[in-house]
Structure 1
Amino acid sequence: MDMYEKTISSKSIFQGVIVDLRVDRVILPNGAEAGREVVSHPGGVCVVPYHDDGTVTVVRQFRYPFGTVITELPAGKLERGEDHRLAGIRELEEETGLTADSFEYMGGLLSSPGFSDEVLHLYLARGLHQGPCRPDPDEFLELQRVPFQELLEQAMDGRLQDAKTVAGLLKTKVLLGL
């Protein structure tokens, strides 16, 4: 069965600093027309900083859309066309001051494929070394080192709700056989 949709028109509605919005018209597989709203985002990167003692460095920061402080793995937005591995190395160091001997790619996630083209790339960082943090001027972060098993429990019982964090922790669990 052919499930592909054919774009027949596209109109840019908004161009922002982080996202762009366009409205498309498409022909569905059955020949009918439909509208599609697409949020375009350059993508992001998320890093699991796994320490030799079985702890993980996480960041706590205020997230405006939810009006609360959320615990997350270190992460950041890609610049358009930026290499996600280099961005992950940069974000890890900026947000946590950590550098890693090993930086292993764990794949990409489609954050919300029903309306956004954002891809989040996940990395596992090991062999960590502490240096100074250099967050962006608009980032206010609190760092914590939490036992990996405790973070897994929080992910499973819903205390951790950030999707990239939950996915990164679960992929790490499988990859490391924990």
Structure 2
Amino acid sequence: MATGPARPPGAVELLERSIAYTGGVLAEVRAEHLDRATPCAQWDLLALLRHMDDSLDAFAAAASAPALSLAPSPSGLEGMAVVDRIRWRACTLLGHWHPEPVGSVGLGDLALPRELLGAVGALEITLHGWDVAQATGSRRPIPPALAMDLWPVARDHVTDLDRPARFGAEVDVPDTASPQTRLLAHTGRR
């Protein structure tokens, strides 16, 4: 029996997989890592973790809120307390996205589909998980299937308008590069 092309994974599946990957990375964070540099220019690991905490809060709100604020909510957490809260937020994030929400969320002057916000959230969670891995020295790679499934999200939603404010310049890599390398290169990571 012939089957058609496989349906790309939905936002909830991508979120589940990105949280699983990043959760493994976060388990390796130690207090002595918090002042280390990250691939994110001008951020040490603690600053990156605070950003991740804020982002997870926003992605949870995106599942049901009519609109999101563009202003970050600064985290006053210090030390390993921010890692603990990120783990808690990641676990509860999936609860907000089950069942998969529908409709749009206001973001500034835009109305964005929740499915798109969830997929972009999975991309951000994964990329910052990789950033954390680099800072801690674990070098845990992004699983190839996850990198391949996030590639269309990155390709379609990380554009020249995002550079250099949100992402660095795209890095040239050979066509034979691994899915992780292509994903990271597109988002300005080496």
How would you bin the TM-score normalised by the shorter chain? under 0.3
TM-score between both structures, scaled by the size of structure 2: 0.22
Bigger RCO (CA 8 Å, 6+ sep): 2
**Per residue, is there more strand in 1 or in 2?**
1
TM-score between both structures, scaled by the size of structure 1: 0.23
Higher gyration radius (CA)? 1
**Per residue, is there more helix in 1 or in 2?**
2
